[in-house]
Amino acid sequence: MKNVLVLCTGNSCRSQIAEGYLRYFAGNKANVYSAGIETHGVNPKAIQVMAEDGIDISHHTSNNVDEYIDVPFDYVITVCDNAKENCPYFPTTAERFHQNFPDPAKATGNIEQVLNEFRNVRDMIKVYSKEFVDQYL
């Protein structure tokens, strides 16, 4: 079984969404974790838009990358430029991947406009996650 870590700045939106989809698409082929270089708590809007697509991430927690220092990861995926550029030294032999997604938490406008940005980012991450699982798991 492969170990996959999804890394973001605050482990609140993008990495949480990616963890949800990677778990869904990988099934029993991988242990999927997500973490941040900081912890900001799981964003309720991320939980909401994932639920709209049938994925429950309400039980996820926001974790710091240091919590997984002893996990032998096969793959580490950074989902934002900030995490890629500012991640503290993380000793791993894992193959690294990077795909920058817009931060939906920075969306502005009325609630529907903000939720639509969350949905757009969710859909981008869904496609990436499916392709990652198909290719590497």
Residue 24 has a CB neighbour count (10 Å cut-off) of 18
Position 121, amino acid: V
Q: Which residues contact 103 (CB under 8 A, 6 or more apart)?
A: 9, 13, 14, 80, 121
Strands, E, within the chain: which ranges? 2-8, 30-36, 75-78, 95-98
Pick the catalytic residue: 76, 87, 94, 125?
87
- Based on the residue annotation, tell me whether 13 is a catalytic residue of this protein: no
Pick the catalytic residue: 5, 8, 35, 49?
8
Pick the catalytic residue: 80, 83, 115, 133?
80
Active site residue ranges = 8, 80, 87
